[in-house]
Amino acid sequence: MIRELKQDENKVLDIFLYEAIFIPEGVSAPPKDIINQPDLQVYVKDFGKNKGDLCLVAQVRDKIVGAVWVRIMNDYGHIDNETPSFAISLLKEYRNYGIGTELMKQMLMKLKLEGYKQASLAVQKMNYAVRMYRKVGFEIVDENDESESNLKYNNNEVNIPVIGKVDAKKVSISLSAIVIGLVDGFNPCAMWILIFLISMLIGMKNKKRMWVLGITFLLSSALVYFLFLISWLNLAVFLNKIVYIRVAISAIATVLGVYQIVRFTSSVFNQKDDGCEVVDSKGRKKIIKSINKIVKEKSFILALLGVVLLAFSVNIIELLCSLGLPVMFSEILAVNNISKTGQVLYSLLYIFFFLIDDIVVFIIAMKTLEIKAISNKFGKYSHLIGGIIMLVIGLLMILKPEWLMFNF
């Protein structure tokens, strides 16, 4: 079991500080009071009192067998006053069982959730643990003449021929926004309403009014989704710090993913039109009646307000129809501790691709005065793809959350 260090357990860090000392083969172990030297005491003195002091321990039955801890300190691997340094060790008899790797992964996850951009550590070049550090994402950034290497976690640059160096994390999150946004956009709940609105607008003689009302509908739809994404994201950043809640949200998303896949399978075998299930025929008649009233409204201002209200109500319904995808995208942003500016930009990218099918249908209709609707079979397949995405992300959030941090 891996858990946080309790306040009354700080003394165990002395044991693991000594165990962390690398002793080359054939060299005698130093006396245990060596940890009292000032350059080693920086790792444990008054631990827990400073910002950035975090510790996880591995427990087997009632015995603590390993520990990983970080603090911002002026140690051998010090980078700056915003970057925590790592220390990790296990009792000898519990090494080479993968416990150290799991401790490192969970601490890196914890640092992400706490908002730290990077971490560092110093290690002897001959230390067998170097391979494990590199395996979890650390890279060597400096070496000195004393056979010591400084490693840093958070180097997400990859070298692509012709293009050069790119930030793999940013590219991965951008691709997630594009793919999930596109799949979310092929939603029958909103498409039939847009199609009916366009059919009413085409019958109008005032082309300027046609364009303004249609664009207002799309912009209002974008605003509803943006407000939802940002609101949920702010909540997710807080909730993800509580492991049980994060797992619960991920489990619900996994179940929803399975439901969407089963729903697709059922529609294929039953040859059922997989349209919007949230709004029944009675609800559709009410919405159609509202659209008719809006389009025929003589007052331009009242018609504009009517379209805004229609867009808000329709997209709230649509969120009920495909809640899982925007929630999963928000979870990806949350675990990566994206800045406020980044949250806004990635959310806008998601929304653009979410609306791109609506934009294409609207522009073609306005230019040709004909409705070229996107077939319901695309909506049907969006349930399958969306279900797979929710299932995969949900399982990763539970089993391998560090994979969603895109640390390459």
User: Could you tell me if 182 and 129 lie in one domain?
Assistant: no
Q: Is residue 161 part of a domain?
A: no
User: Could you tell me if 303 and 277 lie in one domain?
Assistant: yes
Q: Is residue 10 part of a domain?
A: yes
Count of structural domains, the chain: 2
Query: 168-185 vs 340-368: helix axis angle to the nearest 10?
Result: 40
* Domain CATH for 126: 3.40.630.30
pLDDT given at position 311: 79
User: Could you tell me if 59 and 126 lie in one domain?
Assistant: yes
pLDDT given at position 26: 75
User: Could you tell me if 89 and 121 lie in one domain?
Assistant: yes
Amino acid type, 30:
P
What's the rounded Cα separation, in Å, for the pair 218 and 307? 10
pLDDT given at position 160: 45
Cβ burial 129-148 (10 Å sphere, 16+ → b, else e): bbebbeebbbeeeeeeeeeb
Which helix H or strand E contains 3, and what residues bound it?
strand 2-4
User: Could you tell me if 117 and 252 lie in one domain?
Assistant: no
pLDDT given at position 172: 80
**Rg value, the chain, Cα:** 28
Q: Using the 3D structure, point to which of 123, 155, 187 is the last residue of a domain.
A: 155
Which helix H or strand E contains 290, and what residues bound it?
helix 281-296
Which helix H or strand E contains 71, and what residues bound it?
strand 63-71
Is the Cβ–Cβ distance between 397 and 252 less than 8 Å? no
Query: Strands, DSSP E only, in 100-248?
Result: 119-124, 138-143, 148-153, 157-160, 164-167
Domain, as residue range, for 126:
2-155
Q: Is residue 126 part of a domain?
A: yes
Nearest to 218 by CA among 348, 321, 358, 319: 358
What's the rounded Cα separation, in Å, for the pair 191 and 396? 31
pLDDT given at position 162: 45
User: Could you tell me if 190 and 145 lie in one domain?
Assistant: no
Amino acid type, 344:
V
Q: Using the 3D structure, point to which of 155, 175, 202 is the last residue of a domain.
A: 155
User: Could you tell me if 207 and 100 lie in one domain?
Assistant: no
User: Could you tell me if 67 and 113 lie in one domain?
Assistant: yes
User: Could you tell me if 214 and 92 lie in one domain?
Assistant: no
User: Could you tell me if 272 and 320 lie in one domain?
Assistant: yes
What's the rounded Cα separation, in Å, for the pair 382 and 218? 20
Is the Cβ–Cβ distance between 118 and 108 less than 8 Å? no
pLDDT given at position 189: 60
Q: Using the 3D structure, point to which of 104, 127, 155 is the last residue of a domain.
A: 155
pLDDT given at position 259: 84
pLDDT given at position 57: 93
- H runs (alpha helix) in 240-280: 243-270
What's the rounded Cα separation, in Å, for the pair 120 and 118? 7
User: Could you tell me if 195 and 121 lie in one domain?
Assistant: no
User: Could you tell me if 85 and 207 lie in one domain?
Assistant: no
What's the rounded Cα separation, in Å, for the pair 207 and 214? 11
Q: Is residue 128 part of a domain?
A: yes
Mean pLDDT, 10 residues at a time, the chain of 408 residues = 88 91 80 88 88 91 92 81 88 89 88 80 77 79 60 53 53 85 73 69 75 86 87 79 76 85 76 54 65 72 83 74 79 78 90 86 75 53 76 82 61
Q: Which residues contact 119 (CB under 8 A, 6 or more apart)?
A: 70, 83, 84, 85, 86, 108, 111, 152, 153, 154
Token couple for 332: 């990806």
Amino acid type, 287:
I
